[in-house]
Amino acid sequence: MFIVSSVLARVRQLAETRPSLTFTNSKIDSLISQPKRLAVEHMASNDNSYTLRGMRFGGFNTFNCWDLFENNWYANLKQAAAQRQALESKLGYASNGAVEQIQQCEALKIELADALKTVTEERQKREELEAELQDTLGIAIVERQKREKLEAGLADMVETANMERHKREALEDELKDALDIVTVERHKRKALEAKLVSVRITAGGVKQRLDEDLQRACQRRQILQLKMHDALNAAVGPNEQFEQLDFRLIDVLDEVEELKRRHLALEMAIENGHEIVEYNIGDARRAMNDMLQQWEGRWEAMQRECLAENESLPAAIQPKPAGAAQLMSPPSTPQDSSGDEFSTDQCNGSVGTGFMV
């Protein structure tokens, strides 16, 4: 369409710029076509005496009318010849221009035919492109429908994924809470185990101290038995003093039996210490502290009684300074024990030997 419009515009421009030609049939027509001029223009120059001025100032006798007409005809003839030559040249130019215009018109017709052919081909191509475009639009509509379906499915999948993520986050939170609870319980269990270990260590120390106390009590009993044996052999004291010593020996034996029972009870308590600590570790610790304080108080009381007994004995049966220093030593002193664990069977055997004596 652009080519056709450009060709038509070119043809219109050439038609508007084409010069208008006027073909004359004779010289008379050419003369007639010229504009009329005044008579003054055909007169001679100012040097000629036959001018209007001469006619005006010289009088009518000096003017020749025939000369005027003759000069006018000749001038017209010369002017006509000149106009004819000019018109012939213009006609040649116009003929050449017309031939060129005809050739240009032929060329434009050829170009117009080519343009029309091109327009026809372009129209066919456009129709083919429109058909292809319709097919492409149909395919695009189908693809858009598929895409919409895929987007809907993707939206459902995203929603499902979000729900699963929320569930997973909830499960993770629950798992974290459970792990925190397990961690707290583990710390509690470790604390209880540490407390149990400390209680076991304390109970072991108490047991060791009880063993040492029992061993010292047996040793003191043996010393008292030896002292009683020496006193009986010496026979220097009255019977009442012997009876008091016998009563004190019986008290010491009772204390030893009490220590044995408490020792057995403590061993049983130690065996069941894990359960005791799990249920009430604080009460067990307080009870253990109370028991330790009681034993310490009893030990101090027994020590004071032994010192009083030693002071009340006669000089003959007073113990040696080394023995007294041994009796006055604290229960936790490691030099008081003989190095080996003192058993209750040995204590019982020594008690039986004393009674036999």
Residue 159 in any domain: the answer is: no
Are both 212 and 92 inside the same structural domain? no
Residue 325 in any domain: the answer is: yes
Residue 38 in any domain: the answer is: yes
Q: What is the pLDDT of residues 182-230, one digit of tens each?
A: 788 778 878 888 887 887 787 777 778 777 877 887 787 788 778 777 7
Residue 49 in any domain: the answer is: yes
Are both 97 and 208 inside the same structural domain? no
Are both 230 and 117 inside the same structural domain? no
Q: What is the pLDDT of residues 100-138, one digit of tens each?
A: 888 988 998 898 889 899 989 999 999 999 999 999 999
User: Packing angle between helix 273-312 and helix 239-271, nearest 10 degrees?
Assistant: 170
Residue 183 in any domain: the answer is: no
Residue 14 in any domain: the answer is: yes
Are both 125 and 206 inside the same structural domain? no
Are both 130 and 208 inside the same structural domain? no
Residue 101 in any domain: the answer is: yes
Are both 206 and 351 inside the same structural domain? yes
Q: Of 113, 134, 155, which marks where a domain is finished? A: 134
Are both 15 and 130 inside the same structural domain? yes
Are both 130 and 254 inside the same structural domain? no
pLDDT band at 143 (very low <50, low <70, confident <90, very high): very high
Q: What is the pLDDT of residue 97?
A: 84
Q: What is the pLDDT of residues 242-299, one digit of tens each?
A: 666 667 777 777 877 887 787 777 777 766 665 655 555 666 566 666 766 777 777 6
Are both 35 and 125 inside the same structural domain? yes
**Count of structural domains within the chain:** 2
Smallest Cα–Cα separation from 65: which of 45, 85, 50? 50
Q: Of 114, 134, 154, which marks where a domain is finished? A: 134
Q: Of 88, 115, 134, which marks where a domain is finished? A: 134
Residue 296 in any domain: the answer is: yes
Q: List the single range of 17-26, 86-95, 288-297 with lowest mean pLDDT.
A: 17-26
Query: What is the mean predicted confidence (pLDDT) over 73-88?
Result: 84
Instruction: Residue 265: give the domain boundaries.
Output: 202-356
Are both 235 and 99 inside the same structural domain? no
Q: What is the pLDDT of residues 152-190, one digit of tens each?
A: 999 998 898 889 888 888 888 887 887 788 788 778 878
Taking the model in full, what pTM does it have? 0.27
Are both 114 and 215 inside the same structural domain? no
Are both 218 and 347 inside the same structural domain? yes
